[in-house]
Structure 1
Amino acid sequence: MGMPIAFFEVVSDDHERAQKFYAALFDWQVAVDPGMGGYGLVDTGSGEGAIGGGIGPSAAPGDTGVKIYVRVPDLQTSLDRAEELGGTVLVPPTDLPGDYGRFALLADPDGNPVGLWA
């Protein structure tokens, strides 16, 4: 069975503008958390089982853009497999605040960032 897309993320140098843009364009609700540096969790309003997301500030040069996060049973196993297939690890397994689990980032062989979430 394949691994599902579980989350999307938009990272911007002007995250407040991005939050307003996507909220207005798609009628999304963005709940900004000041404790997370202004990161906003997105409710697309698509109902139970819909993929949620986040829109937040850039934390490092070159990290802006749109990413998908794929739910995997084991972050390290997936990172190891990505490297075997020609990808590279960008961020090792890292705890998220609260009860949001853990994440990691990899780059595919073309350099596209892909998030993993467990």
Structure 2
Amino acid sequence: MSATAYNSVAWFEIGTDRPAEVRKFFGELFDWTFAIGPEGELSYQEITAPGADAPSGGIFPSGGAAPDYAIFYVVVEDVAATVERAQELGGKVIVPRTEAANGLVFAHLADSAGHHFGVFTPPAV
């Protein structure tokens, strides 16, 4: 992640209550491969495109807890400051600043026109 410039799109995510179907569709359409964790369908699944050095997206199995979505994530230096600035510009918080166990910090926002997107700061190395 160190080669990615701040304020650039660095990740995408597909949230779905039908991860196997989504995995099959995009796998066949784009030849994407998926790293499925030890919990199978219940775990986050990283997506790697053919020829890529690393994953660039993931599938979040929502279990129906949220509507299906597909969003992009922008890597930022400070998630809290970005959330605050987005709100100043008329954006709304969908998922507040959240820190994962591994140190990844993220939030989901809507721009002033209502488009859903995410921001994140990777875990410290």
**TM-score between both structures, scaled by the size of structure 1:** 0.84
Partner of 2:71: 67
SS in 1 for 2:66: coil
| Structure 2 unaligned regions, length at least 5 | none
Q: 1:16-64, CA deviations, whole angstroms, 9 ceiling, x for partnerless residues?
A: 110111111101111112278232101112424x6600012125232x1
Identity fraction in percent: 36
Amino acid corresponding to residue 14 of structure 1 in structure 2: R
SS in 2 for 1:110: coil
Amino acid corresponding to residue 67 of structure 1 in structure 2: I
Structure 1 residue ranges (4+ consecutive) displaced by more than 4 angstroms after TM superposition: none
Larger CA deviation: 36-45 vs 22-31: 36-45
The answer to whether the aligner puts 1:103 opposite 2:106 as a matched pair is yes
Amino acid corresponding to residue 71 of structure 1 in structure 2: V
**TM-score between both structures, scaled by the size of structure 2:** 0.80
| 1:97 CA drift (Å) | 3.9
Amino acid corresponding to residue 45 of structure 1 in structure 2: P
Q: How does 1:17-56 map to 2 (within 5 A)?
A: 17-33=21-37, 34=39, 37-48=42-53, 52-56=56-60
How many residue pairs match? The answer is: 115
Partner of 1:14: 18
Root-mean-square deviation over aligned CA pairs: 2.2
